[in-house]
Structure 1
Amino acid sequence: MAVPATDEADVRLVDSAVRRSVVRLIPFLLLMYVIAFLDRSNVSFAKEELEIHVGISTAAYALGAGLFFVGYAVFEVPSNLIMHKVGARWWMARIMITWGIIATAFVWVNGETMFYVLRFLLGVAEAGFFPGVLLYLTYWFPEDRRAFATGLFQMGLPIANIVGGPLSGGLLELDGLGGHHGYQWLFGVEGVIAVLVGIVAIFYLTDRPAKADWMPEDEKAALERRLQADDRARASHGGRLGWAKALVNPRVLFFCLICLCIQIAVYGLTFFLPTQVAAITGRDVGFVVGLLTSLPWLCALVAIIVIPRLADRWRRHKEIGALLLTLSGLGIAVSAVAGNALLAMAALCLAAVGFVAVQPLFWTLPTRYLSGTALAAGFGLINGLGNLGGFVAPNVRVWAEETFDSSTAGLFALAGAAVVGAVLLLLTKLMARPPADEAVTTPAPERNS
């Protein structure tokens, strides 16, 4: 939604404050997200070793991989409400340190039961991180810059997979060093990194612009005025809900369904990507396969840098998002039937571009309707229920493959989820007039790039 135009000096101060916030905050938040995604998805690289050394079957692996998202969903909303109350700095540090400790504990996994318990606890520990960061960005970035800032943060998803492929594959090849299996090196090293970064977060992050001793006073004041204007605009269009009402708001629940479709595509592919690439190339999972799995994420990284900025400029978040999800579904489907390795890898690249680049566009939509504790609760619920796609996807994929006795059936199911998400994204146009699109009465101030 637009806010009343301000004088030129104020616009320049806000622009400078936004640039300063990007430089100060986004790289560290990006690092945190990379580590978070590594610790939730590195199990995909350990899949075969866990089967050999611990006796975890494919069905048990799929269930355990998904249990993370059950714990994650249950504790998302309370975690976000606590962060809104106590501040981001301490709460995000707490999240990282506890999830790092639990991630490290996978070194000692000794069977399916322990695997299930640790995956669930890892989800509980990490609950609130992603929606917490999305909420945190609303404290620092005006609405007309938020998709760009969110896109920069969500570069963590492709970066985690670009870095995580070679890193996780390389750690697996330490098998036998010091008398430990490769999967133990994988979980141990990546878990300890999370603990260390969590400790640094206590001293590095700043809760809100008013507390930023690294930002000039005039910039802080101008940024706060602009953010408050955004909040008043939301409230004037019915955006002022209590957190409890936000949890049953039809718009919020509709966003949950869209998020679920997106995450089914993301995790249905992510949890099996190393083994899928290994099958395509005829290699064992290791460093080389790790490098190859980074190719789709490199393409996604380029897309997530470019596309959110274009969507902000054109104000066509829904339409561009629906196109991206459709392309993602097409890529997943083609990867299932491609007759050669080159075509299959190109299809996987298209799939990753679609489901990665759509996410910062999608996350701008709830901020048009919610603010304050309602936004904190809404983000938590949307991300929590949406990320149940991480539970649904691997189990649906395995079920489809076993039911239809076809290795491609699971991928077609994931492709279908992406297309359904695209349709639902377009249907958000049928909601009550979104203030950002139709209720604009005064143009937003122009911003320098």
Structure 2
Amino acid sequence: MSMTSYGKSPGHVAPDSLGGTRDDAEDINEANAALYRKLTRRILPFLFLAFVVAYIDRVNVSFAKLQMLADLHLSETVYGIGAGIFFLGYFIFEVPSNLILDRVGARRWIARIMVTWAIVSCATMFAHDATSFYLLRFLLGVAEAGFFPGIVLYLSNWFPSARRSQIIALFMTAIPVSGAIGGPLSGWVMSHFAGTYGLAGWKWLFVVEGLGSLVVGIAAFFLLYDRIDSVKWLSADEKARLAADLRRDAATRVDHSVRGAFASGRVWLLGLTYFCIAMGNYGLAFWVPTIIKASGVASIANIGWLSAVPSLISAVAMVLIARHADRRGERRRHVAVCCAIGALGLLASVQFASNVGVSLIALVIAAIGINSIAPVFWGIPTAMMGGAGAAAAIAVINCTGNLAGFVSPFVVGWLSDLSGGKLLPGMVAIAVALVIGALLVLTTPARQSRTLS
């Protein structure tokens, strides 16, 4: 069946302005919608699962902290450095990793990334002092480098920019869902396995959750596809229509070299913007259990269940907000408003920390704002650039932003020690960063230029 013939007679309807018929146009739109629903069903679930286990392995240290600091005699500052040093390894190897993925394909490289980080995550059980903790967290960052920007690049090769914020939002709901799953799971593992074979609960946490990543990493080698023509579940007509859509989308962008991406002031400005955004992401991810504990909840299992509430609610909100941004064709103000909402929620969560209910509501508001930022934000750079430079630019933006993963927990931990254990000074710093991010994104031109200079 051809792209323009779906069994309806054009003689019974008025022609549209392009010379076809309205019914023909509607049929084409319906066929395209069905095509992208199929792509979403086939591609997104596995990528979603991969990001869930990735994020759990990245931030499960926030739960391990509840037992590990006392066992290893570590301070809040040491925890902050250890949690954040992950992102130094991530930063150093991010761009090379994404360039390798662009060359060898997602199937092999994503599988390699996941298997490697699973092994390092399991090995974190052997941390016995500050130095070993730092080393293992750094190696985990090296292992995971390139995963997220690689997936963003991969999705841009399957979905045109007009659909991309929604797709990235669906993918990134893995972040709050990982919190919803990882919180109760971490609490259960640490409580249930504590003392088994003489190992502390936090050690079992790294082993059990690391093994989950290993299984998913091996599966990635068999389930990912690098090219449209290698997919068996698309018909020839669907492949042709998808290829045509992607060619039209590519025509709106200019190919850039790797050197051009590094030389682009706009790329670095977007990187700085993402740094401010990520300050909020990791301020939330690494400190939610501590904020809930500070409100008077003592049981680790209960902390795990309560930490799932903001995650679950924000997962729905981030998809709705991204869909609204795509429909309106506007991303800057959406990002800025979400930054402001996230900042206010974080401040309120610690300001009213003595009240479990109020603090939890504030964390829900913070999670809605903070978790909704990135899916909309990533629609901006992926609509600007193409070619080999796109892989480098996406990696530059992501790794620059993710330096906040080092700065955020370090600053909050340091300010907490400095103020006698109070969380408010650290959350103020995170809120200020989010406000700066809101102001920076508003400097991005409303209509993206076709150059990156």
TM-score in same-fold range (> 0.5): yes
Query: Aligned partners of 2:237, 2:97: CA distance in 1, in Å?
Result: 33
Figure out how many residues of one structure are paired with residues of the other and give that number. 425
1:222 equivalent to 2:268? Answer no
Query: Aligned partners of 1:224, 1:10: CA distance in 2, in Å?
Result: 15
Aligned with 1:94 (options 97, 109, 112)? 112
Query: Aligned partners of 1:301, 1:199: CA distance in 2, in Å?
Result: 27
Query: Aligned partners of 1:343, 1:296: CA distance in 2, in Å?
Result: 12
Rg larger in structure: 2
Query: Aligned partners of 1:141, 1:308: CA distance in 2, in Å?
Result: 15
The TM-score normalised by the length of structure 1 is 0.91
SS at match of 1:281: coil
1:325 equivalent to 2:343? Answer no
Counterpart residue type for residue 223 of structure 2:
Y
Once the two structures are TM-superposed, the CA of residue 13 in structure 1 deviates from its matched residue by 4.2
Mapping of 1:5-84 within 5 angstroms? 8=25, 11-84=29-102
1:231 equivalent to 2:250? Answer yes
Counterpart of 2:226 in structure 1 is 207
SS at match of 1:117: helix
% identical aligned pairs: 40
Q: Which runs of 4+ in 1 moved over 6 A?
A: none
Counterpart of 1:153 in structure 2 is 171
Mapping of 1:144-183 within 5 angstroms? 144-173=162-191, 174-183=193-202
Counterpart of 1:136 in structure 2 is 154
Deviations 1:168-219, CA, capped at 9 Å, x for gaps: 0111112012221101110001111111111111111111222111111110
Q: RMSD of the TM alignment (CA)?
A: 1.7
Deviations 1:13-44, CA, capped at 9 Å, x for gaps: 43332111100110100000000000010001
The TM-score normalised by the length of structure 2 is 0.91
Q: Which runs of 5+ in 2 are unaligned?
A: 1-17
Counterpart of 1:288 in structure 2 is 302
Contact 1:242 1:373 in 2 (8 A): yes
Query: Aligned partners of 1:61, 1:394: CA distance in 2, in Å?
Result: 8
Q: Which runs of 5+ in 1 are unaligned?
A: 437-449
Mapping of 1:223-372 within 5 angstroms? 223-235=242-254, 240-284=255-299, 286-338=300-352, 340-372=355-387
* Shift in CA distance, 71/223, structure 1 to aligned 2, threshold 3 Å: same
Counterpart of 2:397 in structure 1 is 382
Report the more deviating stretch, 402-411 or 343-352: 402-411
Report the more deviating stretch, 155-164 or 247-256: 247-256
Contact 1:297 1:352 in 2 (8 A): yes
Counterpart residue type for residue 297 of structure 1:
S
Query: Aligned partners of 1:266, 1:416: CA distance in 2, in Å?
Result: 13
Once the two structures are TM-superposed, the CA of residue 134 in structure 1 deviates from its matched residue by 0.3
Once the two structures are TM-superposed, the CA of residue 12 in structure 1 deviates from its matched residue by 4.4
* Shift in CA distance, 216/320, structure 1 to aligned 2, threshold 3 Å: same
Counterpart of 1:441 in structure 2 is none
Once the two structures are TM-superposed, the CA of residue 434 in structure 1 deviates from its matched residue by 1.3
Query: Aligned partners of 2:34, 2:105: CA distance in 1, in Å?
Result: 24
Deviations 1:101-139, CA, capped at 9 Å, x for gaps: 000001211211111111000000000000000000001
